[in-house]
Amino acid sequence: MLDGVFEALADPTRRAVVRRLGRGPASVGELAGDAPMTLPSFMKHVRVLESNGLIRTAKSGRVRTCELNRERFALVEDWLAEQRRIWTDRTDRLEKFVTEEES
């Protein structure tokens, strides 16, 4: 799960879509307007984001609207919090070791 999220976010086009959707829902056409590629190529990026649960799409008539699935980003937040805790513990132990050696 987490691997797919990071894989989806590894591409700059997909990160730009996520950034834009952070301001609110947008149609695929609006999102694709900023991308330097054809619509079919852009749709592949939308499908990657959707298949990894980062966005949701809904079709109304001929317009497909995208919105962030904010809950999915909790996976990344949880992983980052764990990494932060691990590295804080390690640096605290290193600081303690260095200061005890100096005393």
Domains of the chain, residue spans:
2-102
* Residue 32: burial class (beta carbons within 10 Å; 0-12, 13-18, 19+): buried
User: Is residue 101 predicted with pLDDT exceeding 70?
Assistant: no
pLDDT confidence of 88, banded at 50, 70, 90? confident
Q: Does domain 2-102 have CATH number 3.40.50.360?
A: no
How much helix, strand and coil, in percent to the nearest 5, is found in the chain?
70, 15, 20
Residue 60: Cβ within 10 Å count = 8
Q: pTM of the prediction?
A: 0.77
**Rounded to an integer, what distance in angstroms lies between the CA atom of residue 100 and that of residue 57?**
57
Residues in the chain: 103
Q: What is the mean pLDDT of residues 29-41?
A: 90
